Amino acid sequence: MVIGGLQKFSLSDFPGKISAIVYTQGCSFRCRYCHNPELVDPSRYGPAIPPARVLDFLASRAGKLQGVVVTGGEPTLQPDLPQFLMAIRQLGFDIKLDTNGSNPDLLAQIIASGLIDYLAMDIKAPIDGYRRVTGVEPAARDIERSIGLVIGSGLPHELRTTYEESLLSAEDLAGIARLARGARLLVLQSFRPTKALDGEMLTRPTPDRASLDRARRAMEAAGVPVLVR
């Protein structure tokens, strides 16, 4: 495991649980609005944190924290992710996994292992818009398969989309919602220009309430419940 960061306390990242957050280093996408550029751009990487140090910290918080969020970067790039999740589980924590859906093979393995309690996957764009938003063009079958794995997992889950007006049109949002049909929850996250992989994005405004309401309605027209966050 290559771990790029550890947040020792959060009340908001794991629904209903007091948690710590483990950030893995490295990502398969280059989303322009990414708010963790130090985990995505190799030129900005900091020193990796030894997994043993993270596990020692978690062991010291047993009975005080309830859960651990494993996020990134992209955690499923880490081939030893299942072993790391097992080590967290053995400490008695519930686990939430965040993913971009680019590695459905490992995602399927992790779901089948019973090592996670909550799943969150980002849908960046409709399939034909991924290159525009992420800078790469993943295999459509990988993204679609991962969405199906999340929805069919039987686990509490959410699919989520970050909304920035210049990157996603109403038609794009409706396309995302169609991909998400069957999900328990589709979350529309507002872009915030506080930190970004592409510095030019810092000049873009945060969508206002009226824009977010229009975006929500465009998605809900596809028959999916949407929470604006």
Domain boundaries, the chain: 3-228
Partner residues linked to 2 by β-bridges: none
Q: Of the CATH numbers 3.90.245.10, 3.20.20.70, 3.20.20.10, 3.90.1720.10, which one belongs to the domain with range 3-228? A: 3.20.20.70
pLDDT of residue 48: 97
CA–CA separation, 174 and 142 (whole Å) = 20
Is-contact 59 40, C-beta < 8 A?
no
In this predicted model, what pLDDT tens digit does every residue of 156-167 receive, in sequence order?
A: 999 999 999 999
Q: How far is CA 225 from CA 27, 59, 132, 158, 198, in A?
A: 29, 38, 26, 11, 31
pTM above 0.85, yes or no: yes
Q: Does residue 73 have a cis bond before it (omega within 30 degrees)?
A: yes
Q: Answer whether residue 224 shows pLDDT above 90.
A: no
In this predicted model, what pLDDT tens digit does every residue of 4-34 receive, in sequence order?
A: 999 999 999 999 999 999 999 999 999 999 9
CA–CA separation, 85 and 107 (whole Å) = 12
Partner residues linked to 160 by β-bridges: 122, 187
pLDDT of residue 71: 98
CA–CA separation, 187 and 199 (whole Å) = 25
Is-contact 130 124, C-beta < 8 A?
yes
In this predicted model, what pLDDT tens digit does every residue of 49-106 receive, in sequence order?
A: 999 999 999 999 999 999 999 999 999 999 999 999 999 999 999 999 999 999 999 9
Q: How many CB atoms lie within 10 A of CB 33?
A: 21
Percent of the chain with pLDDT over 90: 97
